[in-house]
Amino acid sequence: MRAIVWNGVNDLRVETAPDPEIISPHDAIVRVTMSSVCGSDLHLLGGYIPAMKPGDIIGHEFMGEVVDVGGEVGKVRKGDRVIVVSILGCGQCEHCRRTVSVSHQWP
């Protein structure tokens, strides 16, 4: 797959990266069709996140098509079009269970 890779401060490159794999039964793999940049990407680009290391793939707000899901994924399936936002919840922890869950079905 092609990915935006952080290689150092102010050094982003489009590179070939290994295809993602299902690791957890809660995983979903999405083929990105459109993406956007948000303000937090500037912190990554500028090197203000100490955990960043050369080779890290960035990008956390996008839309695309689900190409594979783990065995315990129940709300989306292969072929669904989805939007992925920067804040994700597990749906299982105490905090997630205390909040109202809203799901949208897109045409």
User: Each residue's pLDDT tens digit in the chain (107 positions)?
Assistant: 999 899 999 999 999 999 999 999 989 999 999 987 777 788 888 889 889 999 998 888 899 999 999 999 988 999 999 998 877 777 778 877 776 555 555 54
Report the alpha-carbon distance of residue 65 to residue 80 in Å, rounded: 6
**CATH architecture assignment, domain 2-98:** Alpha-Beta Complex (3.90)
- Is the CB of residue 81 less than 8 Å from the CB of residue 65? yes
- pTM of the predicted model, to two decimals? 0.74
pLDDT at position 101 is 52
Angle at 103 (CA atoms; ends 72, 99), nearest 5 degrees: 90
